[in-house]
Amino acid sequence: MEITYTRKELNSLISILKGQGKIIGFVPTMGALHEGHLSLIGKSKELCDVTVSSVFVNPTQFNDSEDLKRYPRTPEKDAEMLEKVGCDVVFFPTVEEVYPEKDTRIFDFGHLDSVMEGAKRPGHFNGVGQVVSRLFDMVVPHKAFFGMKDFQQIAVIKEMVRQLNYPVEIVSCPIVREENGLAMSSRNHLLDPEQRKNVPHIYATLKKARNLAAEMNVTDLKQWIADTIDGNPFLKTEYVDIVDDTTLRIVKEWSDPGRKVACVAVYADKIRLIDNIVF
């Protein structure tokens, strides 16, 4: 595996690979890697000739400086894990490498940015748009792989790709869960043992909710999800929404057209977790 730290190093590798006509798959990450990320690398290896990954904790997508400080960073372990699963190139840039000058672009993602994560974390998706577009400019991938846990992020990135006309295919990959159902997330590293025992309650509730959808209207079911999660003293829901899986319009009635996804953000003390389930 080639480890690169600068744009220059990355560019020269990418030019060689492009010259050889290789199909390039890209897995952008913020590090603290887990099985979910490794599954994205696996998918990229299946569909592409060469897999490039980046490990960069992007400051512009954090609307809370404490959250940015706390975000787990495990670069040596990340490099080992990537090597083990056969990633070909990894890019570990500094902030100055990604943002040699301040990125002042403001994206208009419309409704996609006005609900759920967009509403609760103002500026978050603008920062995601900034960093992903910069990384796409550097890696120039044919395909890029993202996990469905960040379901809204995928919708926003697809919109950015459409607006900026990038010739890249966005590949959505299923959520990878621990045996107890907890969605894998880098933030899980921050949970203490007591919280770890309790957070599987989030997905257990979403699964029960899917079965209850035939018996309750949308408003009551959302309330049921919030009450059931909050019934656990270690958890506090920030939002529960049921949305159309493509437009992210809030579902009001089960008869609304389109596939529906229930999405939640939940605090375990200061640690914020998100999860979702397709109904």
Site membership for ligand PAF, residue 28 (CB under 6 A):
yes
Number of residues that bind ligand PAF (CB under 6 A): 10
Residue 125 or 203 having the CB closest to ligand PAF: 125
Contact pick of 40, 82, 116, 131 for ligand PAF (by CB under 6 A)? 131
Q: Write the single-letter amino acid at 204.
A: A
CB of 98 to ligand PAF, least distance (A): 10
Virtual CA dihedral for 200, 206, 132, 7, nearest 10 degrees?
Answer: 20
Q: Which of residues 132-161 bind ligand PAF (CB under 6 A)?
A: 132, 150, 153
Site membership for ligand PAF, residue 128 (CB under 6 A):
yes
How far the first Cα of the chain sits from its last, in Å, is: 40
Q: Write the single-letter amino acid at 219.
A: T
CB of 123 to ligand PAF, least distance (A): 13
CB of 28 to ligand PAF, least distance (A): 4
Site membership for ligand PAF, residue 118 (CB under 6 A):
no
Positions marked catalytic? 37
Site membership for ligand PAF, residue 117 (CB under 6 A):
no
* Nearest Cα to Cα of residue 262 among 214, 222, 232: 222
Q: Quick one: which segment of 3-11, 23-31, 191-199, 231-239 binds ligand PAF (CB under 6 A)?
A: 23-31
CB of 37 to ligand PAF, least distance (A): 8
Name the site residues for ligand PAF (rule: CB under 6 A): 28-30, 58, 61, 128, 131-132, 150, 153
